[in-house]
Amino acid sequence: MVSLNGPVRQVPLVLQVSEQFRAQIESGAWPRGSRIPGENQLATELGVSRGTVREALRSLSLTGLLEPRVGDGTYVRATNEISGVLVRDDLSASLTHVLDARAGIEAAAARLAAQHPDAESIAALSEVLERRAAALESGDMDEFVAVDTDFHRGVVVASGNPLLLRLYDAIAEVLAESIHQTASIPEDHRILDAHVVVLEAIRAGDPEAASQASYALIETIKQSPSASSI
């Protein structure tokens, strides 16, 4: 029998250090795409050996969170392991695959949202579409991409399914990149119209129409010049 009063195993130092680095990534202290401090600096700051730092960085590189670049340092590639695996294994290289994955998740979310439409979610989606239109009008591409991302996530939030939202957020970086790749100003009016159709189907409480509209939106994006040129 194992005694509950027995000695507690100490967490290996390399694991402790890697968890500290992971916390830096998850908190945004080390943003995605940024170069992190060098091994010597990290070792000095933490009071550990350079070898310990190297092993901790290597473990996070294997998960896809970090990317070592010879002669240039180590960069943050992703903020969670799911996105890290997708990027590490180049599974996100096909824009069509990412858009198909988005279609599956967002159509399911739209269907659920339409089953129980609530005023708060609909108001939030309407406000996001207004901000999206304003970003288009001003020609602010960064704002446009950010707000468009907010709309698609908002549909998932409106679904009321926390597991679906967790899945969406886990691969948010890959999905956001697909939006960045396909966004264009001026925008094809069919894409803007398709966003409105999704919202109106949810507002009407029509699950089938909401699901179909969400699929149709992604298909319209696939056919856009910005997507076909990639």
Residue 13 scores a pLDDT above 60: yes
In this prediction, residue 27 carries a pLDDT of: 87
Question: pTM for the full model?
Answer: 0.65
Give the contacts of 177 (CB within 8 A, at least 6 positions apart): 92, 98
Give how far Cα 104 sits from Cα of 72, 108, 177, Å.
Answer: 38, 6, 17
CATH of domain 13-80: 1.10.10.10
Domain coordinates in residue numbering, the chain = 13-80, 92-228
| Cβ atoms of 32 and 71 closer than 8 Å | no
Tell me the per-residue pLDDT of 44-95, one tens digit each, with 9 for 90 and over.
999 999 999 999 998 888 877 888 988 899 998 877 766 665 555 554 457 7
What string of DSSP letters covers 46-92? HTS-HHHHHHHHHHHHHTTSEEEETTTEEEE--SSHHHHHHHHTTTT
Residue 181 scores a pLDDT above 90: no
Tell me the average pLDDT across 5-24.
75
| Cβ atoms of 154 and 124 closer than 8 Å | yes
Tell me the per-residue pLDDT of 197-208, one tens digit each, with 9 for 90 and over.
999 999 999 999
Paired with 35 in beta bridges are 75
Architecture of domain 92-228: Up-down Bundle (1.20)
Residue 213 scores a pLDDT above 90: yes
**What is the SS3 assignment for 35?**
strand
Q: What sign results for the dihedral spanned by CA atoms 53, 58, 64, 67?
A: positive
